[in-house]
A and B are shown apart, each in its own frame.
Chain A
Amino acid sequence: DVKVTQSSRYLVKRTGEKVFLECVQDMDHENMFWYRQDPGLGLRLIYFSYDVKMKEKGDIPEGYSVSREKKERFSLILESASTNQTSMYLCASTLGVQPTGELFFGEGSRLTVL
C-alpha cells in the first residue's frame, strides 16, 4: 500500500521560530509537493520537486524553503514563522511528470503560529 508520512500531525510554534516539516514517501516517486490548505482557498502549491536536489516554486513560495537531499524525503522549512503561516500543510507525491492526477497525500501537519 502506498504511503506518504508527515513527521508531525500537530505543531504549535511562536512567531520567529524556525519550523521543519518533514515528508517521506515509500513509493519511489519522482515528484513531491508541499501544499497548504486554508478554508475557502483550497489547496495552494508552495513548492514542488521533480528530482533529488531539484526544486521549483509553486504559487505561494514566499516565506518558505524546501530541501530534497534524498528521493524519498522532501522537507518544508519556515525560516521565521509568522502568524499568517498558521495552516494545514499537506505533502504529496506522484510518479512521473505526466499529469495523471493521482497525488498521494500525507495526513497533513496542522501548524499554529502564536
Chain B
Amino acid sequence: RKEVEQDPGPFNVPEGATVAFNCTYSNSASQSFFWYRQDCRKEPKLLMSVYSSGNEDGRFTAQLNRASQYISLLIRDSKLSDSATYLCVVSTWEYGNKLVFGAGTILRVKS
C-alpha cells in the first residue's frame, strides 16, 4: 500500500464550480500535512499547510481528519488558472525533513 494515496483524476470541471480532492495516508504517526500545486512542466510549489482545525486561504480550504487518516482540499469558484496537478504531502518526523508525496490529482477547469 502506498504511504500517501490520491485519486489521479483528471477532474474536469466548469469555471465557477466547487471541487474537492481527498488524500489518504497510511502512517498514523504522520505529523504535518500540506498541499502543493504543480503546473504542467513546472516544479511543485507549496499551496498551503493543513492544520488540525482546518484552514482557509481565499477560495481554498484544507481539512485534516486524523481519525480516518485523510486530508482534503476544497476549491470554490474554480478559475481556469486553477488547472494544475495537486500534490498531497505528508511529513513524518525522522532525522531530517522527510516529506512523502502523493502522485497527484489532475484538475482541469474549462470555460
Contact = CB atoms under 8 A, between A and B. Distances in A.
Interface of A: 31, 35, 40-45, 48, 50, 56, 90, 94, 96-103, 105-108
Contact of B98 (A45, A96, A106): A45
B98 A99 contact: yes
Contact of B44 (A43, A48, A97, A100): A43
Contact of A106 (B4, B34, B43, B91): B43
A107 B91 CA distance: 22
Interface residue tally on B, bucketed by range: 20 to 34
SS of A interface (majority): loop
A103 B96 contact: no
A94 B32 CA distance: 15
Nearest to A42: B103
**Which of B31, B49, B97 lies at the interface centre, i.e. has the most chain A CB atoms within 10 A of its CB?**
B97
